[in-house]
Amino acid sequence: MCCFTKPVRSVESTRIFARADHNERQFLVYSMKVDAEENLAMVLPLPVKPGTGEDGVHFISLKDYPDFFDDLENGFPPPPSERATDSALAAPPAQAAPLPVVQVGDFEASFVPTEKDFSRLDPRFRLPKDAWKKLPGYHDYGFAVFKLKPRGLQKVHPMAFSFPRRDIHSLFFPTVHIHDGKVHSKAHFDHILYCQPNEGEPLKFGSTYDWQESSSHARGFVKIANAKKLVVPDQHCYRRPMNGDLPNRDTFVGLES
């Protein structure tokens, strides 16, 4: 779920990468372009393992690797027949104790263990209570909160972290939208999802999961040293675009055990 605590003018070019760690955690990397006037935060609800405390999410700075998703995309070259067309049409480039806040690249980030713990955040970075009433399925989630800077239209450098996952047999992508304080049944998607199953843990592909496999192992297109162990060098990656008006919900991808 991509939730903003204040209205935004636009959100586009959302990119999300997911990979399961071997210790029952999941890595998640998130980036987008957002146009906003006010101080606000982006909230990502996470299906964390029950009982996860406020130190359960580990934030990872990718400030020095702003091209993480550009490099991932290089692993999926278009077929030769499409390259000339793409090139010709390419666009120009009483409080309870406050929750801990960490500096993660250009962001201040916090992990909110439960919905009730939002009262421990600065009021500017809370979602309206009515939003949670319309999303009863998130009552036992935790929440990663990233405080953004009001700079008009901005490309947000990748935000990365790991969390203890509730379901070790699936990968989670936060794709539900709340951009205006309201929950709509459908939303406009401008997303590309990327993932990397570990060896011996392939994706459960189905008719609704049309994933493209990378042309080589990740070391062929990702700067492994800059990626801070988020990507396994000698495994393929997978890519799935999500575009247009789609059901407004999060995305889970099953893994073979």
Count how many domains the chain has: 1
| Residue-level length of the chain | 257
CATH number at residue 236: 2.60.250
pLDDT over threshold 70, residue 151: no
DSSP 84: H
Number of other CB atoms surrounding residue 151 within 10 Å: 10
- The HSE-up count of residue 62 (CA atoms within 13 Å, CB side) is 27
Alpha carbon separation from 101 to 44, 97, 171, 186 (Å, rounded): 16, 12, 26, 33
**Which of the residue ranges 30-34, 131-135, 156-160, 244-248 would you say has the lowest mean pLDDT?**
131-135
Evaluate whether residue 199 is within a structural domain.
yes
Evaluate whether residue 42 is within a structural domain.
yes
Burial class (CB in 10 A: 0-12, 13-18, 19+), 201: middle
96-147, pLDDT tens digit by residue?
Answer: 676 767 777 667 788 888 888 888 877 767 776 666 666 667 888 998 988 8
Evaluate whether residue 86 is within a structural domain.
no
Residue 129, domain extent: 2-77+98-254
Evaluate whether residue 177 is within a structural domain.
yes
